[in-house]
């Protein structure tokens, strides 16, 4: 797969001893292993396509597999359909993109940085894709447009694919989140008049805004408030307000503060309307925020396109991770076609050298960071919070849902292909000093004093 | 008398009464005939159902009982065989004078070329003296001119019979006189069969061959048929020099003022009267009818009749 | 009343405008204030924030400059999400005309049927009465959900809001055609089709045009809101995008353009209405 590496890219090392991932003695051995894996993946895709053709309804397929077992099923299907031949035929056309013109929706916030910057900085075209990135008015609209297949893939809040897949707030539709776009990068901003009320215990009766009910913002704000003894449903009001309206509402005194994605926080500072009380990384350093997402249907029907698209995003994310690239990215995504914000606002968010609204210049290079790996544990944590606040009812198979939606395996494989360092699957999650064990989600939910249902 | 061109038999119009009550009868037992080329006027007070009778003849309304036979065929629905001149001229206000006439002509002869239709329509408009106003909209015309367009439209389709519903009722006296003359000239030239409603006794005498006198409604009927025995070549300027004129006029006015209400149920005149065969009278001729002397009060009553005509529907 | 001084009204208009701009200028005028923060911080925030204040309403001069900027380059295209105001207006006008045109295609024939048949009128009246007062934007989620295309959904919303005034006015106009005119057509044995097109249609045309004028006014109101909701293109998207950027000067410019186009659409239909109006 080294052929995929762009030889004109100064960041790519074409010659080195050993292989790209470091697990093999030579590049040749690495490539062989990769080819084998790729072939296995292809076979999977062909099998999947055949099974879908035989069982248009996933329910039926699962029922069939449960009843006869996977091995029997494979044998049975093989007698009906020459799977081997199909796999052969498919292998001939491996790598051909099913679709090159794509539409990807985004919300104009810095979380979407990889999706957006991949356009002006040419990451999509590098993988042979002609992607139109379309600015969208709100989360409900981006969800509806993605469900309506107007978009091939979309920028979503990380809980949204889980909500769509589990049918929370709509009919369940299998959705995937193959890459996290950003980690950290959110903040709690309060109106200027509250600049002396820095202790959350003084916030009783406040009106807060979050971008969407199914958002990390909502869960982080609730967590933060609850840890300080405030019941987020009784002691304060939390409303769902589209990001562009947040600063206007803060200015008009309709809300006291918000936990919002950037550049909204920095924009409130820029306009002298609010100050940054707390960066979200101080609640949970390394928390995911937004994801790159697509329907399972798109992933299954356009495996090559999907991989190329995912690679562009992973590649862009890796580029965005490097501090030295941040200024260039800020200049690329600030214009009206993308974020439509003053460059300095975007730059402050991305470089982490920012005005806090109280007259101080703060420096925190990790204010926002980009790490694409969709840890299952992220999904499990989100599900625990959905459960905690009553958005999910009944029994939840946390691990199963997480695995189906957050496609960690795909991401790991592609990251390896791109020569990116492997993610540490055991990376701990610590939220406000409390460690989360993804193997014990139910106990975690039970451990909270303030919760619903 | 041979079978007349138009024959009306046992015509009646009743409206369903309030629940349980007997029906409202506007008129019943209407019998009359009009010969080809004959000009018949119908005279009667408002509410006796004249306009309904005309609408039934036109096919726009349906009688409750009875039949109308024209040229040997029963009248069912409107037809180009009968041209109608409406009381309120009924010109289509968005069309020019010429287009209004062409609208009918195109219907009558759909196979004609636009040129033929135009030429034919212009001929009829010139006949009523409107050659200069072909491209004016109705709103730009005076009342008299509008009614002339209405007449031209009715004549232009060359119907077998012309029905005029009080066509000059809304016009001032001077205009009315002029158009009456024109209508007289055209009818005499074309030998058109005409049925016309009027409230104007003088108009009836000037134009008609016979006048149908209707008694008052409800239960209106044809009380008498008055034969206008004066020679046909009449003119408005000289007609009152004819000795018959006042005799006929007195007879008609007397009917309207005094006798029209005598035919209600139970009145002696009604009992002696056979509506299927109303008496034909010739008051113009000496001894043609019993001519009642005009009492002093009647002259005033005649002028009182005028407002009635304009109020009639 | 005919004014003896025809210049008086325009003069007054100009005076009001001057007064409005004057008040606006005074209300937004801010004397240059000393920065209250150090220069490093000041470089990171907006002008107002550097003096410890909230960002202010734009002055007439700023809005004028923005207007000039839009007028001097109305049709630029810098990518999917950044197009000139002229292009955005054309998108909106296109949607309005399409939705409105489709509504006319449905409302006028249907209005004809309703107007000619008292039975159908009575049967459909409850539906019309219930659906007519529904805010067109309430249809948006339903449209998005069922049609599954935001562009078509926006057009559908325009369609549905344009439908009622045209439908009701057409039915009313058709039902009110003078009996005499219909009788003329009947006595002339004019076919039903020709009667519909040559008598009823022209007779009801002024009423129908009134409905169309109301409809296009509503459609133009609604398109802005609909585009703000679904985004993508159009003047509504432009307003949303500039709101996102908190650029009040741009929003005021857009408001002016929306008003002007609305006036132009209304004038256009008023002209058409005059063309079909007749005097009796």
Cross-chain Cβ contact B103/C178 below 8 Å: no
B46 and B182 inside one domain: yes
Between helix C118-131 and helix C150-175 the angle, nearest 10°, is 140
A167 and A257 inside one domain: no
Last residue of a domain, one of A237, A255, A282: A282
Q: Ranked by mean pLDDT, which of A89-93, A300-304, C43-47 comes out on top?
A: A300-304
Alpha-carbon gap, residue C144 to B203, rounded angstroms:
72
pLDDT at B140: 92
From the list B78, B84, B93, which residue is nearest C280 (CB)?
B93
A147 vs C contacts (CB less than 8 Å): 148
Average pLDDT, chain A: 80
Query: Does the residue B176 lie in any domain?
Result: yes
Residue bearing the bigger pLDDT, C95 or B286? C95
From the list A133, A271, A340, which residue is nearest C46 (CB)?
A271
pLDDT at C272: 92
Query: Does the residue A274 lie in any domain?
Result: yes
The residue ranges of DSSP E strands in chain B, in sequence order, are 6-15, 24-34, 39-43, 65-70, 73-74, 82-85, 161-165, 193-197, 210-214, 222-227, 280-281
Query: Does the residue A360 lie in any domain?
Result: no
B178 and B153 inside one domain: no
Confidence of residue B174 (pLDDT cuts 50, 70, 90): confident
pLDDT at C171: 92
A308 and A371 inside one domain: yes
Q: Which domain holds residue A64?
A: 2-92
Q: Within 13 A of C77's CA, how many CA atoms are on the CB side?
A: 4
Of all residues in chain A, the one with the smallest CA distance to C53 is A272
B26 and B59 inside one domain: yes
pLDDT at B2: 59
For tokens 């498919």, the residue is A90
Of all residues in chain C, the one with the smallest CA distance to A347 is C44
pLDDT at A406: 83
For tokens 């009801």, the residue is C204
**Structure tokens belonging to residue A445:** 């939910």
CB-based contact A378:A289 (threshold 8 Å): no
Backbone angles phi, psi at C74, to 5 degrees: -80, -15
Cross-chain Cβ contact C202/B92 below 8 Å: yes
Residue bearing the bigger pLDDT, B56 or B267? B56
The chain C residues in contact with chain B (CB within 8 A) are 178, 180-181, 183-184, 186-190, 194, 198-199, 202-203, 205, 276, 278-280
A196 and A171 inside one domain: no
Alpha-carbon gap, residue B310 to A259, rounded angstroms:
82
Q: Which chains touch A (3 or more CB pairs under 8 A)?
A: C
pLDDT at A391: 84
Which CATH number fits the domain that encloses residue B207?
3.40.50.300
Query: H helices within C55-149, ranges in order?
Result: 60-72, 85-116, 118-131, 139-147
Query: Does the residue B86 lie in any domain?
Result: no
C-alpha closest to that of A384 among A293, A451, A292: A451
C48 vs A contacts (CB less than 8 Å): 271-272
Last residue of a domain, one of B138, B158, B178: B158
Cross-chain Cβ contact A148/C148 below 8 Å: yes
A360 vs C contacts (CB less than 8 Å): 41
Backbone angles phi, psi at A101, to 5 degrees: -90, 115
B32 and B100 inside one domain: no
Backbone angles phi, psi at C82, to 5 degrees: -140, 95
- In DSSP terms, A175 is beta-bridged to A295
pLDDT at B195: 94
**What pTM was estimated for this model as a whole?**
0.74
pLDDT at A162: 82
B99 and B36 inside one domain: no
C144 vs A contacts (CB less than 8 Å): 141, 144, 148
A391 and A431 inside one domain: yes
pLDDT tens-digit readout, A103-118: 999 988 888 888 888 8
A214 and A113 inside one domain: no
Region A35-63 average pLDDT = 60
Confidence of residue A48 (pLDDT cuts 50, 70, 90): low
ipTM over 0.85: no
Query: Does the residue B1 lie in any domain?
Result: no
Listed by start position, the domains of chain C span 85-276
Residue bearing the bigger pLDDT, B268 or A67? B268
From the list B58, B92, B138, which residue is nearest C187 (CB)?
B58
B154 and B166 inside one domain: no
Q: CA of C112 to nearest chain B CA: how many angstroms apart?
A: 19
Region B238-266 average pLDDT = 86
Of all residues in chain A, the one with the smallest CA distance to C54 is A272
Q: Ranked by mean pLDDT, which of A132-136, A160-164, A306-310, C207-211 comes out on top?
A: C207-211
Q: Ranked by mean pLDDT, which of A170-179, C29-38, C188-197 comes out on top?
A: C188-197
- Which stretch of B112-126, C38-52, C60-74, C198-212 has the lowest confidence by average pLDDT? C38-52
| A282 and chain C in contact, CB less than 8 A | no
A270 vs C contacts (CB less than 8 Å): 44-46, 49, 55
Query: Does the residue B138 lie in any domain?
Result: yes
B104 and B64 inside one domain: no
Q: Which domain holds residue B146?
A: 92-158
B45 and B141 inside one domain: no
Of all residues in chain C, the one with the smallest CA distance to B99 is C198
- Which stretch of A230-244, B128-142, C19-33 has the lowest confidence by average pLDDT? C19-33
Confidence of residue B43 (pLDDT cuts 50, 70, 90): very high
For tokens 């801010």, the residue is C30
pLDDT at B298: 39
C82 vs A contacts (CB less than 8 Å): 335-337, 340
Q: What percent of chain B has pLDDT over 70?
A: 90
A148 and A236 inside one domain: no
A28 and A16 inside one domain: yes
A387 and A257 inside one domain: no
pLDDT tens-digit readout, A125-154: 888 888 888 888 888 888 888 888 889 989
The chain C residues in contact with chain A (CB within 8 A) are 37-38, 40-41, 43-46, 48-49, 52-55, 78-82, 141, 144-145, 148-150, 228-232, 237, 240-246
CB-based contact C273:C210 (threshold 8 Å): yes
Q: What percent of chain B has pLDDT over 90?
A: 36
Last residue of a domain, one of A252, A282, A312: A282
pLDDT tens-digit readout, A386-430: 889 988 887 878 888 888 888 888 788 888 888 888 777 778 888
Alpha-carbon gap, residue A156 to A154, rounded angstroms:
6
Last residue of a domain, one of A69, A92, A115: A92
Query: Does the residue A356 lie in any domain?
Result: no
C40 vs A contacts (CB less than 8 Å): 361
Query: Does the residue B246 lie in any domain?
Result: yes
pLDDT at B303 over 80: no
pLDDT at A5: 46
Residues 45..64 of B with a Cβ closer than 8 Å to C: which? 58-60
A408 and A327 inside one domain: yes
Beta-carbon contacts below 8 Å between B and C: 62
Query: Does the residue B213 lie in any domain?
Result: yes
pLDDT tens-digit readout, C112-137: 999 988 899 899 989 988 988 888 88
pLDDT at C210: 92
B220 and B290 inside one domain: yes
Residue bearing the bigger pLDDT, B310 or A13? A13
Region B60-82 average pLDDT = 90
SS (H, E, C) chain A: CHHHCCCCCCCCCCCCCCCCCCCCCCHHHHHHHHHHHHHHHHHHHHHHHHHHHHCCCHHHHHHHHHHHCHHHHHHHHHHHCCHHHHHHHHHHCCCCCCCCEEEEEECCCHHHHHHHHCCCCCHHHHCCCEEEEEECCCHHHHHHHHHCCCCCEEEEECHHHHHHHHCCCCCCCCEEEEEECCEECEEEEEEHHHCCCCCHHHHCCCEEEECCCCCHHHHHHHHHHHHCCCCCCCCCEEEECCHHHHHHHHHCCCCCEEEEECCHHHHHHHCCCEEEEEEHHHCCCCCECEEEEEEHHHHHHCHHHHHHHHHHHHHHHHHHHCHHHHHHHHHHHCCCCCCCCCHHHHHHHHHCEEECCCCCEEECCCCEECCCCCCHHHHHHHHHHHHHCCCCCCCCCHHHHHHHHECHHHHHHHHHHCCCCCCCCCCCEEECCEEECCCCHHHHHHCCCCCCC
Beta-carbon contacts below 8 Å between A and C: 113
C-alpha closest to that of A179 among A206, A204, A156, A210: A156
pLDDT at B310: 39
Alpha-carbon gap, residue A207 to A316, rounded angstroms:
37
B138 vs C contacts (CB less than 8 Å): 280
In this structure, the number of other CB atoms found within 10 A of the CB of residue C121 comes to 18
- Which stretch of A377-381, B139-143, B290-294, C37-41 has the lowest confidence by average pLDDT? B290-294
Confidence of residue B138 (pLDDT cuts 50, 70, 90): very high
Of all residues in chain C, the one with the smallest CA distance to A141 is C230
Q: In CATH, what is the architecture of C85-276? A: Orthogonal Bundle (1.10)
Q: Ranked by mean pLDDT, which of A44-48, A314-318, B176-180, B205-209 comes out on top?
A: B205-209
Cross-chain Cβ contact C231/A137 below 8 Å: yes
Residues 6+ apart with CB under 8 A from A281: A184, A287, A364, A366, A367
Q: Do chains A and B touch (3 or more CB pairs under 8 A)?
A: no
Confidence of residue B53 (pLDDT cuts 50, 70, 90): very high
Of all residues in chain C, the one with the smallest CA distance to B94 is C278
Q: How many domains does chain B have?
A: 2
Last residue of a domain, one of B158, B177, B198: B158
Residues 6+ apart with CB under 8 A from B242: B230, B234
Confidence of residue A68 (pLDDT cuts 50, 70, 90): low
B84 vs C contacts (CB less than 8 Å): 183-184, 187
B102 and B223 inside one domain: no
Which CATH number fits the domain that encloses residue A277?
3.40.190.10
Region A9-18 average pLDDT = 47
Residues 6+ apart with CB under 8 A from C6: none
Query: Does the residue A382 lie in any domain?
Result: yes
Query: Does the residue B148 lie in any domain?
Result: yes
A417 and A342 inside one domain: yes
Cross-chain Cβ contact A137/C48 below 8 Å: no
Residues 6+ apart with CB under 8 A from A276: A187, A188, A189, A265, A266, A269, A354, A356, A357
Average pLDDT, chain C: 87
B105 and B188 inside one domain: no
A173 and A319 inside one domain: yes
pLDDT at B221: 86
Last residue of a domain, one of B120, B137, B158: B158
C140 vs A contacts (CB less than 8 Å): none
pLDDT at A412: 84
Cross-chain Cβ contact B103/C187 below 8 Å: no
C190 vs B contacts (CB less than 8 Å): 103, 107
Q: What percent of chain A has pLDDT over 90?
A: 13
A170 and A306 inside one domain: yes
Confidence of residue A6 (pLDDT cuts 50, 70, 90): very low
pLDDT at C100 over 90: yes
pLDDT at B212: 93
Query: Does the residue B249 lie in any domain?
Result: yes
pLDDT tens-digit readout, C217-241: 999 999 888 888 877 788 988 888 8
What is the DSSP code (8-state) at residue C177? S
């Amino acid at each position: 797969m080294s052929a995929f590496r762009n030889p004109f890219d100064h960041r790519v090392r074409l010659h080195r001893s050993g292989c790209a991932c470091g697990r093999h003695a030579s590049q040749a051995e690495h490539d062989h292993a990769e080819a084998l894996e790729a072939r296995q993946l292809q076979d999977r895709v062909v099998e999947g396509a055949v099974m879908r053709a035989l069982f248009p309804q996933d329910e039926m397929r699962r029922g069939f597999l449960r009843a006869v077992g996977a091995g029997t099923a494979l044998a049975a299907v093989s007698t009906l359909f020459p799977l081997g031949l199909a796999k052969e035929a498919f292998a001939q056309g491996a790598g051909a993109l099913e679709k090159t013109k794509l539409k990807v929706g985004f919300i104009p916030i810095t979380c979407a940085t990889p999706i957006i910057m991949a356009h002006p900085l040419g990451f999509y075209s590098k993988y042979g894709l002609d992607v139109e990135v379309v600015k969208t008015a709100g989360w409900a609209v981006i969800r509806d447009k993605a469900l309506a297949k107007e978009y091939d893939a979309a920028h979503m809040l990380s809980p949204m694919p889980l909500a769509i897949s589990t049918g929370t707030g709509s009919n369940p539709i299998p959705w995937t989140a193959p890459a996290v776009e950003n980690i950290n990068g959110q903040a709690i901003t309060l109106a200027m008049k509250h600049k002396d009320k820095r202790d959350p215990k003084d916030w009783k009766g406040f009106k807060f805004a979050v971008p969407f009910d199914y958002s990390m913002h909502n869960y982080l704000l609730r967590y933060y408030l609850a840890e300080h003894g405030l019941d987020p449903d009784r002691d304060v009001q939390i409303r769902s307000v589209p990001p562009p309206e947040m600063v206007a509402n803060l200015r008009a005194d309709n809300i006291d503060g918000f936990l919002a994605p950037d550049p909204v926080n920095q924009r409130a500072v820029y306009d002298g309307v609010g100050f940054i009380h707390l960066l979200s990384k101080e609640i949970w350093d390394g928390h995911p925020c937004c994801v790159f997402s697509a329907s399972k249907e798109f992933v299954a029907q356009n495996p090559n396109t999907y991989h190329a698209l995912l690679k562009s995003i992973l590649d862009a994310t890796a580029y965005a991770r490097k501090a030295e690239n941040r200024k260039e990215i800020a200049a690329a995504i600030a214009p009206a076609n993308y974020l439509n914000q003053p460059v300095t606002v975007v730059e402050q968010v991305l470089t982490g050298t920012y005005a806090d609204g109280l007259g101080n210049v703060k420096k925190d290079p990790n204010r926002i960071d980009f790490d694409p790996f969709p840890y299952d544990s992220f999904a499990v944590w989100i599900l625990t919070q959905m459960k905690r606040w009553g958005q999910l009812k009944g029994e939840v198979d946390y691990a199963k849902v997480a695995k189906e939606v957050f496609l960690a395996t795909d991401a790991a494989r592609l990251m390896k292909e791109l020569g990116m360092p492997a993610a540490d699957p055991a990376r701990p999650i610590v939220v406000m000093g409390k460690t989360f064990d993804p193997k014990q989600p139910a106990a975690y939910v039970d451990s909270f004093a303030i919760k619903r249902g | 008398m041979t079978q007349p061109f138009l024959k009306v038999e046992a015509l009646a119009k009743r409206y369903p009464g309030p629940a349980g009550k007997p029906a409202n009868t506007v008129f019943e037992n209407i019998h009359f005939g009009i010969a080809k080329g004959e000009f018949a006027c119908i005279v009667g007070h408002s509410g006796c159902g004249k306009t309904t009778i005309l609408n039934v003849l036109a096919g726009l309304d349906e009688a409750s009982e009875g039949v109308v036979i024209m040229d040997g065929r029963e009248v069912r629905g409107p037809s180009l065989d009968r041209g109608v001149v409406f009381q309120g001229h009924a010109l289509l206000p968005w069309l020019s004078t010429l287009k209004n006439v062409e609208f009918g002509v195109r219907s009558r002869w759909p196979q004609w070329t636009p040129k033929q239709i135009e030429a034919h329509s212009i001929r009829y408009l010139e006949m009523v003296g409107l050659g200069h106003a072909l491209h004016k909209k109705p709103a730009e015309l005076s009342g008299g001119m509008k009614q002339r367009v209405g007449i031209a439209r009715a004549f232009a389709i060359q119907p077998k019979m012309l029905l005029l519903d009080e066509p000059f009722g809304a016009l001032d006296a001077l205009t009315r006189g002029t158009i009456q003359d024109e209508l007289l000239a055209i009818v005499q030239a074309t030998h058109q069969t005409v049925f016309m409603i009027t409230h104007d006794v003088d108009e009836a005498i000037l134009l008609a061959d016979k006048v149908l006198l209707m008694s008052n409604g409800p239960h209106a009927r044809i009380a008498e048929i008055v034969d206008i025995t004066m020679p046909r070549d009449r003119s408005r300027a000289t007609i009152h020099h004819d000795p018959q004129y006042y005799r006929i006029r007195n007879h008609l006015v007397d009917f309207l003022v005094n006798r029209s209400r005598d035919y209600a149920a139970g009145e002696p005149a009604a009992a002696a009267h056979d509506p299927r065969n109303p008496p034909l009278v010739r008051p113009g001729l000496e001894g043609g009818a019993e001519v009642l002397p005009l009492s002093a009060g009647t002259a005033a009553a005649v002028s009182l009749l005028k407002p009635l005509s304009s109020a009639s529907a | 009343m005919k004014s003896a001084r025809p210049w008086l009204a325009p003069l007054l208009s100009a005076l009001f405008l001057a007064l409005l701009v004057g008040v606006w200028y005074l209300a937004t005028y801010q004397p240059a204030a000393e920065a209250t923060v150090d220069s490093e911080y000041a470089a990171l925030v907006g002008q107002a924030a550097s003096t410890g204040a909230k960002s202010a309403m734009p002055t007439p001069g700023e809005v004028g400059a923005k207007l000039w900027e839009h007028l001097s380059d109305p049709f630029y295209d810098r990518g999917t999400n950044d197009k000139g105001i002229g292009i955005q207006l054309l998108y909106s006008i296109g949607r309005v005309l399409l939705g409105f045109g489709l509504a006319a295609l449905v409302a006028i024939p249907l209005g004809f049927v309703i107007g000619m048949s008292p039975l159908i009128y009575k049967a459909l009246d409850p539906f019309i009465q219930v659906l007519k007062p529904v805010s067109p934007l309430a249809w948006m989620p339903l449209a998005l959900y069922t049609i599954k295309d935001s562009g078509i959904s926006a057009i559908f919303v325009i369609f549905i809001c344009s439908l009622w005034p045209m439908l009701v006015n057409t039915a009313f106009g058709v039902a009110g055609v003078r009996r005499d005119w219909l009788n003329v057509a009947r006595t002339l044995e004019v076919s039903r089709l020709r009667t519909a097109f040559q008598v009823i249609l022209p007779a009801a045309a002024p009423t129908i045009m009134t409905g169309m004028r109301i409809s296009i006014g509503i459609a133009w109101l609604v398109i802005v809101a609909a585009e703000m909701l679904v985004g993508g293109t159009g003047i509504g998207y432009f307003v949303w995008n500039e709101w996102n950027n908190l650029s009040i000067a741009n929003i005021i410019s857009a408001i002016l353009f929306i008003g002007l186009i609305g006036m132009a659409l209304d004038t256009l239909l008023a002209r058409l209405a005059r063309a079909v109006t007749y005097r009796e």
